[in-house]
């Protein structure tokens, strides 16, 4: 509110804003300015105060919303939500993606296992973070904003925080229903099996994923056992 394209251009021209993070430094810089915003053309004490209040109200932002707002290619609201839920917190995301190239590569490999995130989305996310200016912008925003983690999902459920893979034919629910139920209980549903997988739910016709689960020593259960675990 009170910060449209015209206002942003004026703030830029006055040297008050140089990047997204500067919006959240605006009030502090204005206090140090020889010409406060309230004394500039088109502004007044009331409009300046309303702007600062509106900015402060936007300081608390969900992680998914922050990722979406960065304007990355292929990262719309749904994909931003999947990425946010995978990392769980902005601190975890920052450690994984904003420290070293090696750590970021590991994080991208892990993202590829998230059901619903394909290689095109992950590559776009990786390319965005590989650009130093973009990484610096995200670091800056992380330090300025109160970034909220994804909404907790049944933290006391027996599968909260666990990575689950469904394979084979499910007979009592569709794959989408199984995925939605697992996520509602706080589990992460992956499309592939790795050493970090906690549970593989195997139905008739399970093939390579079941074999890999056995190889990695991952817990394997039937659909009925899974339903019994989560309460039907």
| CA–CA dist 87, 63 (Å, integer) | 10
Confidence band, pLDDT 50/70/90 cuts, at residue 152: low
Do the beta carbons of residue 55 and residue 24 sit within 8 Å?
yes
Q: What is the pLDDT of residue 153?
A: 58
DSSP letter at 192? S
Least confident of 121-125, 184-188, 220-224: 184-188
What average pLDDT does this structure show over 64-71? 94
- Mean pLDDT (whole number) for 41-47: 90
Tokens of 53: 């209040």
Domain that holds residue 33: 5-58
In the predicted model, is pLDDT for residue 29 greater than 70? yes
Instruction: Give the pLDDT band (50/70/90) at residue 185.
Output: confident
Domain boundary residue among 105, 124, 148?
A: 148
DSSP structure class, residue 200? E
Q: Does residue 53 sit in the same domain as residue 67?
A: no
> Number of folded domains in the chain?
3
Considering 91, 124, 148, which residue would you say is the last residue of a domain?
148
Instruction: Please check the confidence at residue 4 and state whether its pLDDT lies above 90.
Output: no
* Average pLDDT estimate for 98-105: 96
Q: Does the pLDDT value for residue 144 go beyond 90?
A: yes
Does residue 130 fall inside a structural domain? yes
Q: Are residues 77 and 137 in the same domain?
A: yes
Cα 60 from Cα 33, distance rounded (Å): 26
Cα 38 to Cα 44: distance, rounded to the nearest angstrom: 4
* Direct distance between the N- and C-terminal alpha carbons of the chain, in angstroms, rounded to an integer: 47
- Report the pLDDT averaged over residues 110-127: 92
Residues 16 and 42 in one domain: yes
Answer whether residue 40 shows pLDDT above 70. Answer: yes
Question: What is d(CA 190, CA 197) in angstroms, rounded to the nearest whole number?
Answer: 8
Nearest to 62 by CA among 84, 83, 82, 43: 84
Per-residue confidence (pLDDT) for residue 115, from 0 to 100 = 79
Which pLDDT score, from 0 to 100, does residue 194 have? 94
Cβ contact 79:64 at 8 Å: no
- Check whether 20 has a pLDDT greater than 90: yes
pLDDT at 176: 82
> What is the biggest distance separating any 2 CA atoms in the chain, rounded to whole angstroms?
74
Single pTM value for the model: 0.66
61 burial type by CB count under 10 A (0-12 exposed, 13-18 middle, 19+ buried): middle
pLDDT at 25 over 90: yes
Residue 190's φ and ψ, nearest 5 degrees, are: -115, 155
Q: If phi over 0 gives left and psi between -120 and 50 gives alpha, with beta otherwise, what is residue 100? A: beta
């Amino acid at each position: 509110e009170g910060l449209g394209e015209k206002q942003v251009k004026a703030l830029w021209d006055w040297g008050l804003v140089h990047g997204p993070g500067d919006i959240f430094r605006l009030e502090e810089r204005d206090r140090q300015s020889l010409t406060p915003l309230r004394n500039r053309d088109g502004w007044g004490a009331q409009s300046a105060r309303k702007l600062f209040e509106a900015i402060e109200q936007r300081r608390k932002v969900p992680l998914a919303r922050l990722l979406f707002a960065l304007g990355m290619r292929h990262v719309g609201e749904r994909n931003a939500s999947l990425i946010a839920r995978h990392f769980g917190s902005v601190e975890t995301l920052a450690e994984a993606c904003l420290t070293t190239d090696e750590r970021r590569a590991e994080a991208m490999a892990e993202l590829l296992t998230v059901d619903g995130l394909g290689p095109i989305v992950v590559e776009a996310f990786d390319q965005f973070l590989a650009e130093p200016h973009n990484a610096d912008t995200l670091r800056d925003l992380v330090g300025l904003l109160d970034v909220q983690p994804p909404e907790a999902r049944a933290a006391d459920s027996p599968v909260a925080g666990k990575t689950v893979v469904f394979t084979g034919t499910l007979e009592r629910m569709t794959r989408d229903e199984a995925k939605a139920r697992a996520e509602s209980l706080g589990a992460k549903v992956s499309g592939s099996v790795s050493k970090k997988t906690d549970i593989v739910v195997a139905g008739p016709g399970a093939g390579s994923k079941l074999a890999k689960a056995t190889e990695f020593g991952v817990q394997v259960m039937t659909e009925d056992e899974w339903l019994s675990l989560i309460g039907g």
